[in-house]
Structure 1
Amino acid sequence: MSFAAKDLSVPVDLASAQALIEAVQAEAAAQRLALRAPPAAPTTCCGRGCNGCVWEGWLAAIAYWRDEASLLLG
């Protein structure tokens, strides 16, 4: 099974995003491929549950990073 065919669900929280990042980076290391670094976790959250929270944008950026990496990893 190719890496792209594996179930790499869209992350919904910090823990699932970190697990996804680890899985993608482990596969890249196994294939001896270099990937760009994943987006850094936000440090500016105010904790008020804003509409359009920085965490929402970060999770979307992680999903995009995953998609980009999947294309390289095959």
Structure 2
Amino acid sequence: MSFADKDLPIPVDLASAQALIVAVQSEASAQQIALRVPPPEPTTCCGRGCNGCVWEGWLAAIAYWRDEASLLLV
């Protein structure tokens, strides 16, 4: 089974997103494929648990990055 066929997890928190980034970048490096840089972690969270928190947007952006990367990896 190729890496792209694996069911890559959806990031749900900072730790799972960071683990996903490391796994995808490691596989890309092994396959000598250049990926775009993953979205940077937010720095503007106020910590009040707002609806539409910057972390929610970041996790969605990481999921999109994962999907984009999986199309390039075999």
Normalization by structure 1: what TM-score?
A: 0.97
Identity percentage of aligned residues: 84
Q: Which runs of 5+ in 1 are unaligned?
A: none
Report the secondary structure of 2:48's partner residue.
coil
| Matched ranges for 1:34-49 at <5 A | 34-49=34-49
Letter in 2 for 1:29: S
Aligned length: 74
**What's the CA shift string for 1:31-74, capped at 9, x where partnerless?**
00110000000000000000000000000000000000000013
Q: Which runs of 5+ in 2 are unaligned?
A: none
The yes-or-no answer on 1:2 pairing with 2:14 is no
The alpha-carbon deviation at position 7 of structure 1 amounts to: 2.2
The alpha-carbon deviation at position 5 of structure 1 amounts to: 1.4
The residue aligned with 1:23 is 23
Normalization by structure 2: what TM-score?
A: 0.97
Please provide the CA RMSD for this pair: 0.6
The residue aligned with 2:50 is 50
The residue aligned with 1:33 is 33
C-alpha distance in structure 2 between counterparts of 1:52 and 1:41, whole Å: 15
The alpha-carbon deviation at position 4 of structure 1 amounts to: 1.4
C-alpha distance in structure 1 between counterparts of 2:53 and 2:71, whole Å: 28
The residue aligned with 2:72 is 72
